[in-house]
Structure 1
């Protein structure tokens, strides 16, 4: 009898062991499943936004959804860049794949259509993918050194806006020497995003070979990436143009009186100097219908710090590196001129008001030969205005 009871106890003990073993395995599987769920969801949002170069992402624009190799909001990585040379990158739809490079220009390109997939979503609608390491696909790394530049003009422009580039090249962009000072000109472009992006990219390469005045970086060229565009401009200036004394960021729809710009800069400070149409105590727009709307979650103060309107501002070249350093500590907003003002505030550097409030104009100024001979920059209503106004100012005779 005792042997039977002992046998029963042994069977019960073995059953309890098997039960505990099964329970432990089941618990481990549940924990692993939970971890997998959390990681997948985190990777699809915040983690992928932060360390996007480690994951494959999908981009969406108004015309298409495209999958790029290791991309974050138009970022192509990894790329190896040395003095403007990109080699090699794996890309799709108008983006370069293995390349032959001469003079910092990527040519020719091998292009394939992207794979349609669900669009990647940023952590929030006002997320700006900066800081991040962007690379130059088309570069002019020796521009400032070769031309012994005094002031370099950087014009952000969309890839397809050839008309604006040609209008500027034939007017104020053609003024290369003023008062024995060299003025250099460069157009800054991102990746084309339209349906004809493959052709646009090929056209850009040919245009660059002809004029040698184009910089192109690997971010999507769009309105909401203007802050990235400005940061890339500052990075280029810091890396390739430190021998120059000043730079001006100016929009492609502007009329610029280059002579007056140079005359303004001749006696200007060589350090910590930025001027333009300076906005002070500007209120943050909370109306969701506004083009410049920013929610409290993106920027909580009620007023912006002082900033120079993005239509055209001038700064000493020492600020390029300082602003890039500040940008590593300031949360980026998509309004590029405001972001530059935020970086200036972080540096504790105030902006300089222009000596005359009429030098920089946010609204188009009706043409008057005398008036245009005195201003520095103004918005215009058309490219035709830019051409006609500039030509009239070049004709002999008194201005006033």
Structure 2
């Protein structure tokens, strides 16, 4: 009886010891998974240094400008030749992979000979592709540029946040290689554009040059978007005011060459932000220049279904994919004589 009692007590002790050993081993195993070996917990001083480093790190939406970004694909001679100085320089914003988009634009609204009464020059502005696609796209872009001679590739990553840099570098190219262009059109690739109406009804080539001129769809006293994750999110630390100055919507606006050069000059001292249309508005405010109203309802920032007669009285409609433009373009080119006059 006594022997059975001792055996029972010994079994309990051994079981307790075994459980304790398992708990110790499991604790060590979890520690090895979650922390580097042989390191003691970080001291408060280390945490302080980490916080200090984070505080000094630039905001992800802060742009480096002015900066010497190189022109990797370039055509300095684009505005030269037997024709006179360009009446209109088109700077079309595209991404490196948009080979098919650019080809449709060349064949439709980006055709340089579409308005025969004036000289139009077109350049596609693009940055660098993501590293994982760089090798494949490099040869494709070089081949495209050899065939068409209209790519302006700049040495920074092509992202939405860098759109301001694309516009500024397009203006830098204009200042260096095409300073006598009378007007500059900044336009995105996902639009329908009517160059004839733009030239004949907005820019008036037979009239005197318009100096401090910029027009498009004008946004007045709009509010910064403060919701994180929104496409147009503006952190208060980058822009603290409650209202933006007047600016022309980014899908497309046109400005005089002289004003483009002035904007480029003042951009050297205005803090660059990632919303390029708002940034141009900040430069205009610095210059004391107000956008000029265009004919009402001619720059549409939101999609409108195609209508032959209506589109002949518009400059631009945002939200058109290149396949749609290619599909409707033959009809758009037909005579609009049957359309009622306004």
Aligned match of 2:177:
240
TM-score, normalising length: structure 1: 0.68
Counterpart pick for 2:303 among 348, 351, 364: 364
For structure 1, the 5+ residue unaligned runs are: 1-37, 47-121
SS at match of 1:339: helix
RMSD: 1.9
Corresponding residue number in structure 2 for 1:265? 203
The alpha carbon displacement at 1:215 in A equals 0.4
**Structural mapping, 1:173-188, within 5 Å:** 173-176=110-113, 178-188=115-125
**Aligned pair 1:161/2:161, yes or no?**
no
d(CA) in 1 for partners of 2:222 and 2:262? 24
Equivalent residues of 2:109, 2:192 under 8 A apart: yes
Structure 1 runs, 4 residues or longer, greater than 4 Å off: none
Q: Distance in 2 between matches of 1:175 and 1:141?
A: 17
- 1:136 partnered with 2:71: yes
Q: How far 1:194 moved relative to its partner?
A: 4.7
Greater gyration radius:
2
Secondary structure at 1:186 match in 2 = strand
CA-CA distance at 1:45 after TM superposition = 8.4
1:225 maps to what in 2? Answer: 162
Q: Which residue does 1:326 correspond to in 2?
A: 266
Can you give the 5+ residue segments of structure 2 that lack an aligned partner in the other structure? 1-48
Tell me if the contact between 1:176 and 1:184 (Cα under 8 Å) persists in the aligned partners: no
Q: Which structure has more RCO (C-alpha within 8 Å, separation ≥ 6)?
A: 2
Equivalent of 2:227 in 287, 299, 303: 287
State the SS of the aligned residue for 2:80: helix
Query: Contact 1:189 / 1:221 at 8 angstroms: preserved in 2?
Result: yes
Specify which of 251, 256, 260 is matched with residue 316 of structure 1: 256
**Residue from 236, 245, 250 that aligns with 1:296:** 236
Shift of 1:175: 4.3
Per-residue CA shift, 1:99-153, capped at 9, x if unaligned? xxxxxxxxxxxxxxxxxxxxxxx51122111121111111111111224311011
Deviation at 1:156, TM superposition (A): 0.8
Q: What is the distance in 1 between the residues matched to 2:186 and 2:59?
A: 28
**Hey, what's the Cα distance between the residues in 1 that align with 2:215 and 2:275?**
18
Deviations 1:55-74 (A, max 9, x none): xxxxxxxxxxxxxxxxxxxx
Deviations 1:175-208 (A, max 9, x none): 4252520111110011111512111011111111
SS at match of 2:277: helix
Quote the Cα distance in structure 2 between the aligned partners of 1:161 and 1:268: 37
